[in-house]
Amino acid sequence: MTRAWTLPTLLVLSGAALATGLISSGNPGAAAALLLVFVLLAGVNSPLIFPRSISAPEAQRRSAADGRPVVFWRPGCAYCLRLRVRLGRGARQVHWVNIWRDPAGAAAVRAANDGNETVPTVVVAGRSHTNPDPAWVREQLSRSA
């Protein structure tokens, strides 16, 4: 849990330190703008932007029942964020598994990627796809609907 918040926390603290320096040098407007940028970066890299994660066994059970893809991800991953943003509202239909919170999910990703925790790893109908094109994932979602 704390690992997921490490990067966002560091971003906010760094932004606050830099903004404090700008305020002390007489640039409150630049300080506010810089702090806003760091807070936005922290929000994008936080667990808040992704739908609620579930465990890998639960995601696999649900996927078997409804045919929807399972996406293994981790906070701070730019490719995971790209997939999440490009899926738009469809992202809520996918089963998300945070590999930093779920050891079984991390093990599944390592098994699919030659021992590496490469994310996003998308599982559709039992087959793993590492960092697939978001359009392809949307197509898989439309097939499962």
Identify the sign of the CA torsion 32, 36, 42, 46: positive
Proportion of the chain above pLDDT 90, given as a percent:
69
Digit-coded pLDDT (tens) for 31-80 = 999 999 999 888 877 767 767 789 999 999 999 999 999 999 998 888 99
pLDDT for residue 26: 94
Please say whether the beta carbons of 110 and 116 come within 8 A. Answer: yes
Confidence grade of residue 115 (pLDDT, cut at 50, 70, 90): very high
3-state SS, residue 75: coil
pLDDT for residue 53: 86
2-11, 24-33, 66-75, 119-128 — which is least confidently predicted? 2-11
Query: Average per-residue pLDDT in the chain?
Result: 90
pLDDT for residue 90: 86
Phi-psi region of 49 (alpha: psi -120 to 50; beta: other; left: phi over 0): alpha
Q: Looking at domain 51-144, which CATH architecture does it have? A: 3-Layer(aba) Sandwich (3.40)
Domain ranges (residues) in the chain:
2-48, 51-144
